[in-house]
Structure 1
Amino acid sequence: MNIAICDDDKSFRDLLEKHLRNYFNDRNISLNIFQFPSGEKLLENQLLFDLVFLDVEMGNINGIDTGKELKRRNPHNIIFVITSYDGYLDDAFHIRAFRFLSKPLDIVRLYRALDDAAELINNDIIVFYDVKSGRNVRIYTNDIIYIEIKKKKTKIVTVDNIYYSNEKISVWKNRLNAISFVCPHSSYVANLDYSVYHTRTLLVLAKRDLDGKIIEKYEINIAPKKQAEIKRLFFYVLERR
């Protein structure tokens, strides 16, 4: 797990790192913690972080603007906003801040928030054996565009890669229980969060770049008995976006 602490107060960064190490070491979770004294320094780093602790009031780039850029790069990171002034709370909603932490640090509240974050991460990540690379891989469920049966294997298409698993597609259906995952056909599981449009017999999904431009489309047949369900869920997910 990669964790970033971004705060212009070094003593606070050191204190927070100490408590984070205590929390995760007690739970036998390996981690890497990186400290940054400013938003500029954090954004210069190209690592993707699981947890980010952002002080709101910093130099040229404040915590809110830093958080917006981090979310653009990686929508999965969990952001904790650190502030002693509640006037920033409305702005923090724009970066979908997971929790707010105040100074001085409340350790009980911090640990409670970390419990919630750990549960969210565990529910959002799937680990499986990729037969193509011969190793275990770790992917976010939200990154899955669709899954299909391919030559007696299960093909998993994500925003970053394509994987192959020996697990049956029924196993994947049980794992992916979010409302956005549907089965338009017995050989497919599709993520409607990537849907562009659908006809009576066809569901079209798309991969997009960071600016939202479509870079690749995927067409999936809709079985006759699934047409009403796909239509209903398509509009439900569309309204939720």
Structure 2
Amino acid sequence: MPARNVRPFLEALEAHWPDAKTELVYSDVYTLLVSVVLSAQATDISVNKATGPLFKVAATPQAIVNLGVEGVGRYIKSIGLWQGKARNVVALSEILVAQHGGAVPHDRAALEALPGVGRKTANVVLNVAFGEPTIAVDTHLFRLGNRTGLAPGSTPRAVEDQLLKRIPPDMLMHAHHWLILQGRYICKARLPECWRCNAAPWCGLKLKSPPPAEKPPSSKLRGRMTPIAIEDR
């Protein structure tokens, strides 16, 4: 994607998603942190279904510690990798109580030192809770960065670095949300719905997919659109 196309591409996404925000349901920084940890390789919908009942009985670090791994596990069994996530949520809560007075630190290094928290999760918390212009590269952003030519890279960190360089400073605060919603609902993993994408004129994808009534894209195009799972590292 040429540099001249970056701003109009993002402006088109902003126009389509003017109220873009995380779809995780949370009430404070701590419940946001727990929700993001649980969302690794899981949908926001599945996380919200589990955390609704969980947060009714335990919505603070000390309450989660008191509930214990087995207790937390009972609420999140519907989420993938729930055993490890239950251990991480309790362990990070213990650290918050012991080292941070029960508060979530506004510090990247301290966040990434917590069990189950990698760069992606830290970026989400720093952006959503603390208002920092960070970019959290999940599966959707990794795909869009490469597919559209906005920020090509072979790793999530490479895509993140490219996004930080190419996105205009005044758009960094919300760009992550525009991109994730676009990837989740329009520029989908197996077949992007280019016919209803208002950013298509500036997108670097050469073989745009046609509307369903038209001829489907070639097998070559489909083969380039295999989804890639991004773990939080």
TM-score by length of 2: 0.30
Structure holding more helix per residue: 2
Q: Which has the larger share of strand?
A: 1
TM-score by length of 1: 0.29
- Which has more radius of gyration? 1
